[in-house]
Amino acid sequence: MNPTLSTRREQYEEDFPLHTHVPTENPSFDLKDGFSDRYVKRDESVDEKLDHILKWIISNRTDFTLDVDFVTLRGHLTKLLTTPYEDKEGWMFAVTKFRGTIYIDKVETEAARRDRDNRTERHSEMMYWGYKFEQYMCADNIESLPDPSGVVNTNEGYYTVVRTQIAEHKLLFSAEVDCRVREPKDPPSCYVELKTSAEIRTPLKRSDKFKLLKWWAQSFMPGVPQVVAGFRDRDGIVVKVETFQTAEMSQLVEGENNCWKPTVCMNFCNDFLTFVKDVVSEDDPSVVYLFSWEPRRDVGFTIHRDSQYGFLPEWYINEITRTDT
């Protein structure tokens, strides 16, 4: 199967993404800096569901036809793509059909909630490190330089909206973009994903191969061509910055034991979407189909009517109903 990926729309351009500054010398960025005094942290207990992409759909209805089969978020597609190689974390998706379009949202599993509640201070600080790296690497515009003395605010983000196709399934989803390069100019070719990682040793360990799979899956779907990785020591100091081409990542693990193949990920995702289309028969946002999966199990589903799982907000249902002719 040769899936196509075509990107036709981008959004939230008023706040254009930041420009990447890849250091030419050894960087020694201290990722710990500012954790205790210059950090505004998003409240992770608030689940924004699909609200932002739904608002985007409403705002763009005059010059845009919702002619897709699925509406979702990039993170959910990343989870689906990596499923064939995942052996630790299961998932649960809430799915509902409204006016012919299927909406896919995530439900936090019990295990994920326990992990979130029991996060150690060390783990919370390490989560901050990824955002701090973004600050070291990004400037507001081409002329300026990054300002690591500022506040790291994880409530802020730039999102692109992508229309794409996997086999016969048409999808619309939003994806957070970390920053852009000066050339090429057009999205998504100008987009860059930033990542931090503990230093990778060769031969690659299984966890490092899996990390590359996650990086690939996250960037492949919205067509982000490169990932700039900051490798850090145990003390949170970035000692090396390296660029990886999304299209070449799978070749880095080729021939290794436990390697992964993009085709396997795409085929699974395609089969899952076909399965969902077959199962989700009722066109009614008060009916939610819960698809769940645990490692080494098959994907199963249950059906819920007028339950706590309904996730399409009333304002969205009313607006679409009012304007749909």
Q: Does 137 bind Mg ion (CB under 5 A)?
A: no
Q: Which is nearer to ligand A3P, 129 or 316 (CB)?
A: 129
Q: Dig out the tokens for 15 from the structure.
A: 């706040």
Q: Does 178 bind Mg ion (CB under 5 A)?
A: yes
- CB distance 244 to 216 below 8 Å: no
Q: Which is nearer to ligand A3P, 57 or 221 (CB)?
A: 221
Q: Dig out the tokens for 23 from the structure.
A: 């250091």
Residue 195 Cβ, how far from ligand A3P at the closest point, in Å?
A: 4
Rounded Cα–Cα distance for residues 150 and 78 (Å)? 31
Residue 222 Cβ, how far from ligand A3P at the closest point, in Å?
A: 12
Residue 196 Cβ, how far from ligand A3P at the closest point, in Å?
A: 4
Q: Does 105 bind Mg ion (CB under 5 A)?
A: no
Q: Which does 127 bind (CB under 5 to 8 A by kind): Mg ion, ligand A3P, none?
A: ligand A3P
Residue 124 Cβ, how far from ligand A3P at the closest point, in Å?
A: 9
Residue 123 Cβ, how far from ligand A3P at the closest point, in Å?
A: 8
Cis peptide before 188 (omega within 30 of 0): yes
**Contacts (Cβ under 8 Å, ≥6 apart) of 257:** none
Q: Which is nearer to Mg ion, 194 or 253 (CB)?
A: 194
User: Which residue from 265, 247, 101, 268 is spatially nearest to 172, judged by alpha carbons?
Assistant: 101
Q: How does DSSP classify residue 95? A: E
- CB distance 148 to 136 below 8 Å: yes
Q: Which of residues 249-288 bind Mg ion (CB under 5 A)?
A: none
Rounded Cα–Cα distance for residues 290 and 93 (Å)? 6
Dihedral angle computed from the Cα positions of residues 178, 183, 188 and 191, in that order, rounded to the nearest 10 degrees: -10
- CB distance 15 to 158 below 8 Å: yes
Q: Which is nearer to ligand A3P, 105 or 178 (CB)?
A: 178
- CB distance 288 to 312 below 8 Å: no
**Contacts (Cβ under 8 Å, ≥6 apart) of 264:** 84, 85
Binding segment for Mg ion among 18-26, 97-105, 178-186, 268-276 (CB under 5 A)?
178-186
Q: Dig out the tokens for 242 from the structure.
A: 């390296």
- Which residue in the block uniquely carries the two structure tokens 């996997």? 166
User: Which residue from 273, 263, 274 is spatially nearest to 84, judged by alpha carbons?
Assistant: 263
Q: Which is nearer to ligand A3P, 35 or 260 (CB)?
A: 35
Residue 119 Cβ, how far from ligand A3P at the closest point, in Å?
A: 9
Q: Does 31 bind Mg ion (CB under 5 A)?
A: no
Q: Which is nearer to Mg ion, 150 or 300 (CB)?
A: 150
- State the alpha helices, DSSP H only, in 72-227: 74-82, 110-117, 121-137, 206-220
Binding segment for Mg ion among 56-64, 175-183, 289-297, 299-307 (CB under 5 A)?
175-183
Residue 131 Cβ, how far from ligand A3P at the closest point, in Å?
A: 5
Q: Which is nearer to Mg ion, 69 or 178 (CB)?
A: 178
Answer for which of 92, 152, 179, 194 binds Mg ion (CB under 5 A) is 194
Q: Which does 232 bind (CB under 5 to 8 A by kind): Mg ion, ligand A3P, none?
A: none
Interface residue list for ligand A3P (CB under 6 A) = 127, 129-131, 133, 176, 178, 195-196
Residues that bind Mg ion (CB under 5 A): 178, 194
